[in-house]
Structure 1
Amino acid sequence: MAILLAFALGLVTGGIGAREYFGLGSRPLGSPSVKATLPPSVAAAQSDIGKVAQAVIASTVYIESYSGNEGGSGTGFIYRADGVIVTNAHVITPTGEVAKEINVTVPSGERFTAEVLGYTHDYDIAVLKIDAKELSALPLADSDTIAVGDQVVAVGAPLGLAGTVTTGIISATNRPVRSGDAEIQSFINAVQTDAAINPGNSGGPLVNMSGQMIGLNSAIAQPVNSNQQSVGSIGLGFAIPSSQVKHSADEILDKGYATYPVMGIMVDMSDRRAGAKVLEDSGSTKGIVAGGPADNAGLKAGDRILFVNGKRIGSVTEFIVYLRSLQAGQEVAIVAERNGEQIEATISLQEQRAK
């Protein structure tokens, strides 16, 4: 079945309306506990999940973004105890531009106006600051150490129901994902999970059973021709790996912006064959940036990149996602096809400011 990706962003009509409808108001974000007599093995498993959930809820926030009558709601997590919050870029830009008013509700129920320190649509990451101290920062794990089958917990605010906890496993890693629309697109080397992710979960943490963040929930799959406003979880959720979240967030905190690595080429996004085709020259549009890394390595317009660092490239999206998982300054080994023959090149990646 063909699928497309939708941001897991709650609309104002859903997010705010839901909190009012369910009478949540400004109540703390935690959930009431339910006691029951269970078999020891089940009780132990639920106890583990409960402990993780309790710890992570204390580091998860609810975010509302408005520009006039338009806006959306989502989730975020406490990155630093001094009020630094990390979420998705699309949570704070529900209309395509940074919302004029962004409010953050912390687990105690206290509400703050947030300042945007920086964001990148390329990686779909934003960093906010609220005037709060001694918050409970969420620890991050190395996402390179996770494995398919690992149990995970997702915390978020689907339809504005903050402090909602779902569980599942890691279904896949290094899943090349492109989300957004024609104007704003994000390319994610994603962690895939079957934990229920719904509109409003965007920007919430996906954590391991040690309560450490391994991914930032960002997108969900939906059947083609379905209405994004009505989409819900079908067991295909995607999160930005914690290693990328940390790298981009730290760059924003240090520089005010994030960066990504480039080869100095333009690729043909309409091409459907395996590999990534360097765009053919057409008028003033050039496939190779003059004097850039690819130009210096001898690549030419029309070349088809087949392998990067020994990794077979299945599509242009896979190429962009893999490239953006690397760092500027790294050297990559390229195998490309030109006129039916294979050529090899070594390219040193340059840094470019992310949008």
Structure 2
Amino acid sequence: MPEGGEPPFGRPDGGEGPFGRPDGGDTPFGRPDSGEGPFGRAGDNPFGRPDGGEAAFGAEGREQSSTRTYESPFFGPSAGAPPYGGDAPPPPPRHALGMGPGWAPPPSGGAPAAPRRGPGTGLLVVLAVVVALVASALGSVGTYLLTRTNGTDPSYSLGPLPSGATDRAPDSVAGVAARVLPSVVSLEVGNGSNTEGATGSGFLIKNGYVVTNNHVVAMAAKGGDIKIQFYNRKTTTGRIVGRDPGSDLAVVKPEDTFGTPEISLGNSDQVVVGDPVIAVGSPLGLTGTVTTGIVSSLNRPVIAGDENGGSEEPAYISAIQTDAAINPGNSGGPLVNGKGEVVGVNSAIATLSRSLTNQSGSIGLGFAIPVNQARRVAEELVTSGKAKRPKIGIVLDPDYKGQGVRIASEPTEGRQPVDPGGPAAKAGLKAGDIILELDGLRLQDGNELIALIRSKAPGSHITVKFQRAGQERTATLTVTADDEPTPSPS
């Protein structure tokens, strides 16, 4: 208790405490002046009297048997020292704490120890970081252990979808395709017996006509039917307006066009090697297919015709060659430039193997009819139902193997080598002359000459370089045309 306070057991200055007064007053255990207490007088010993008096358990004067009375008080060697007897006060109870000055002995060991201080703030921060790292590591290990058995991760995410505008430039492939696709159709042609048929593509031109290849619709000319499907997946039937086997072109009229826009026609004379092009059509029946490439060559002589082995004459085409993928079913579809203008009509492909039962797909060599030729033929088919056959009035020598092509030296099947009054005769060409160049293009064979002549419009002028008796000469021809197509080219 702090200095000056009153202890719980009485006041050291003689005041009265809770257990009696130290000045001889009554206490709960009796009075110190030999007064009687609750257990008897002070002289009485409940276990026997040290002076040989009667013990509590024996009569007065009876000798105690083999027991020995206490020779000293409980708390000290001398029985005469007040108040408990002996020379010293009773020891404090074990682990007793001090109650104030004078009431308990000071703790042993010298000066009191300094109070213990807790860990500093820095140490607590370090411990927190360490605990966090350990918890994270344990969490990762736990997740791995939970998910390694089935390979799943419940918290896995690839994040949100990207947002923002996805506008396509008008001159991009996507922009061109968006403008061209609505004008492209697919055709299914049957022969009426439902045992075989042909498929192909086409595109819509002015007044609702569809341009396609002759070999696509040839079967319908023998009693078959034509089914036309538009880009919006609406279908209708169609009828042949006219066809030209010699150019492999045909025009079909649908019963309904469902508001389909017409396609834009370009100028194939402006096409150069390396121009980007896009082929659109229905290869293998897959409508609305777009493939891209470049113009890989020009004026490539190609002989195309009826794929089903028909009896019609072959078509001689001075074709635009492209590496845009073209496959069966692309026939009749448009080949467009970077502006979305048609520059060619896809017609043929080169393959590594071909048979009546198996035909391989695109190997990067596709061929298209120049649109300037297709424009002229389509106009003629719509206006008259037939196309004119351009010619210069000569018959070629099929056995010649030298440079250029040679005009036949003798009449063939009753026809003269040079038609009298024809374009070649008027330009001065004669039988046996060797034609080396046509409009500056060096000729490789007779098929190339025929294809180049067929690509010209009647009335156009061409420059011919030819050789006679070892001397090179030049002449200008004006292309004419037969009103009735003939099966043999000239």
TM-score > 0.5, shorter chain as reference: yes
Q: Select which of 334, 337, 347 maps to 1:218.
A: 347
Which of 259, 276, 285 is the equivalent residue of 1:151?
276
Q: State which of 362, 371, 374 in structure 2 corresponds to 1:242.
A: 371
Q: How far apart, CA to CA, are the structure 2 residues paired with 1:83 and 1:293?
A: 37
| 287-296 vs 136-145, which moves further | 287-296
Q: Distance in 2 between matches of 1:70 and 1:79?
A: 29
Amino acid at match of 2:239: E
The residue type paired with residue 157 of structure 1 is: S
SS in 1 for 2:351: strand
1:121 counterpart (245, 264, 268): 245
Residue matched to 1:209: 338
Instruction: Look up the SS of the partner of 2:382 in the other structure.
Output: helix
Alignment of 1:256-335 (within 5 A): 256-281=385-410, 282=412, 284-335=414-465
**CA deviation vs aligned residue, 1:129-188 (integer Å, no higher than 9, x gap):** 112253211111222223322222211111111111111222122322222378521122
**Partner SS, residue 135 of structure 1:** coil
Distance 2:170 2:480 in 1: 48
* Match in the other structure for 2:262: 137
Q: Is the 1:275–1:319 contact (alpha carbons within 8 Å) kept by the matching residues of 2?
A: no
Deviation, 1:94, is: 4.6
Read off the aligned partner of 2:291 and give its amino acid letter: T
1:59 and 2:188 correspond: no
Give the C-alpha shift of residue 120 in structure 1: 0.9
Equivalent pairs counted in the alignment come to: 316
Q: Supply the AA of the counterpart residue of 2:324.
A: A
Q: How far off is 1:261 after superposition? A: 2.1
Mapping of residues 27-42 of structure 1, within 5 Å: none
Structure number with bigger Rg:
2
Alpha-carbon distance in structure 2 between the residues aligned to 1:150 and 1:111: 34
Which residues of 2 match residues 4-43 of structure 1 at below 5 A?
none
Contact 2:189 2:225 in 1 (8 A): yes
Could you tell me which amino acid in structure 1 is paired with residue 188 of structure 2? E
| CA distance in 1: counterparts of 2:417 and 2:391, whole angstroms | 13
The percentage of aligned residue pairs carrying the same residue is: 39
* AA of the residue aligned to 1:79: I
Q: Which runs of 5+ in 2 are unaligned?
A: 1-160
- 1:227 lines up with 2:227 in the alignment: no
Give the one of 76, 85, 100 matched to 2:202. 76
**What TM-score comes out, normalization by structure 2 length?**
0.59
Instruction: Confirm whether residue 108 of structure 1 aligns to residue 232 of structure 2.
Output: yes
| Cα shift at 1:284 | 2.2
Query: What letter is aligned with 1:125?
Result: L
CA distance in 2, matches of 1:160, 1:106: 13
Could you say which residue in structure 2 is the equivalent of 1:11? none
Does residue 171 of the first structure (1) align with residue 296 of the second (2)? Answer: yes
User: Do the aligned partners of 2:351 and 2:359 also contact (CA within 8 Å) in 1?
Assistant: no
Cα gap change, 1:255 to 1:183, in 2 (>3 Å): closer
**What is the alpha-carbon distance in structure 2 between the residues aligned to residue 76 and residue 283 of structure 1?**
39
Q: Unaligned regions of 5+ residues in structure 1, if any? A: 1-35
CA RMSD of aligned residues (A): 2.9
Match of 2:315 among 156, 178, 186: 186
Q: CA separation of 1:54/1:44 partners in 2, compared to 1, >3 Å: closer, same or farther?
A: closer
Larger RCO: 1 or 2 (CA < 8 Å, sep 6+): 1
Identify which of 453, 470, 474 aligns with 1:340.
470
Q: How far off is 1:78 after superposition? A: 0.7
Task: Report how far residue 349 of structure 1 moved.
Answer: 2.1
TM-score by length of 1: 0.79
Change (3 A) 1:188 1:37: farther
**1:153 alignment partner, SS class:** strand
Residue in structure 2 matching 1:196, options 322, 325, 348: 325
- For 1:275-324, what per-residue CA distance to the aligned partner results, in whole angstroms no more than 9, with x for missing partners? 12212324624322233222343322222211233432222122112222
Q: Does the C-alpha gap of structure 1 residues 195 and 172 become closer, same or farther in structure 2, counting only changes over 3 Å?
A: same
The aligned amino acid for 2:228 is: V
Picking from 383, 395, 403, the partner of 1:254 is 383
Going from structure 1 to structure 2, the CA distance change for 1:141 and 1:46 (only over 3 Å counts) comes to: closer
More strand by share: 1
Q: Identify the residue that residue 352 of structure 1 maps to in structure 2.
A: 482
**Any idea what SS the aligned residue of 2:373 has?**
helix
Which residue is 1:29 aligned to? none
Amino acid at match of 1:124: D
Equivalent position amino acid for 1:222 in 2: T
